[in-house]
Amino acid sequence: MLNLKITNRIVFLLIITFSITLLNAQERIQNINFLFANNGYGLGYEYEKFRKSNVSIGVDLRFYDVRNDEYPIYDPFYNQFTVAGEKDILLFPLFFRTSYYLFDGQIANSFRPYITFSIGPFIAVDGDETISSFSKKWRSTESQTNLGASLGFGVNFSQPSGNTLSLGLGYDHLNVDKPIHSKDDFGGGYLFLKYQINRE
């Protein structure tokens, strides 16, 4: 309960701070993010505004499908492989982020390395693995909200079309207060491929 109160206060302060800052921001960019983490895979949406030519702020919304506990087992009776240790766990980080672009104005604009830091709440949802029906499985869920963070490094590559492709790596801090299947740490390293879908 205490952690939830602290999380809510931090989120409230972040929303106020980012809302005020976004009003004075300049260029706006929207990205789609493909994430390949050590505990699964995911998708993300990013919205960022540039405060300066080398500093941006925004939101980072993600979806992770946790898969790191699964392993195949061969069934000789049916002559096929089955998946053991399958866990239906979904993570929904709702991060506020800031990015700093290195060597601004010193190298070609088509090659822009940057570092980024994100912080905010994430929702962990545990589906009922005993139910085979996909729709029913997610009707009986347990969820919890905790505070998470992420640190990353990437490089933007400008395309002839005007859009930008970005490659990079990062580390997520995603710890839950109440363990899910005896596990309380769902963070770790990840690789990302990001594609710009809109720029204003």
**Is the pTM for the entire model greater than 0.75?**
yes
**Mean pLDDT score, 107-131:** 84
Q: Among 9-13, 136-140, 142-146, where is mean pLDDT lowest?
A: 9-13
Tokens representing 195 are: 């594609």
User: Among 2-16, 154-168, 169-183, which range has the highest average pLDDT?
Assistant: 169-183
Q: Rounded to whole angstroms, what are the CA distances from 56 to 22, 51, 110, 143, 197?
A: 10, 6, 17, 32, 17
Going along 53-163, which residue ranges are E strands?
55-66, 71-75, 80-84, 89-101, 111-126, 142-158
CATH code of residue 124: 2.40.160.20
Q: Among 70-79, 86-95, 103-112, 174-183, where is mean pLDDT lowest?
A: 70-79
pLDDT of residue 193: 95
pLDDT of residue 182: 83
CA distance 118 to 93: 10
Sequence-distant (6+) residues with CB within 8 A of 19 are none
First and final CA of the chain: distance in angstroms?
A: 41
**Mean pLDDT score, 62-71:** 75
pLDDT of residue 154: 95
Identify the CA nearest to 93 among candidates 168, 199, 196, 192. Answer: 192
- Total count of domains within the chain: 1
Tell me: pLDDT of 53 over 60: yes
CB 66 within 8 A of CB 39: yes
Find the domain containing 181 and state its range.
2-199
3-state DSSP call for residue 158? strand
pLDDT of residue 99: 94
**Mean pLDDT score, 13-28:** 57
pLDDT of residue 29: 87
Identify the CA nearest to 57 among candidates 97, 30, 88, 26. Answer: 97
pLDDT of residue 34: 96
pLDDT band at 75 (very low <50, low <70, confident <90, very high): low
CB 42 within 8 A of CB 83: no
pLDDT band at 46 (very low <50, low <70, confident <90, very high): very high
CB 151 within 8 A of CB 171: yes
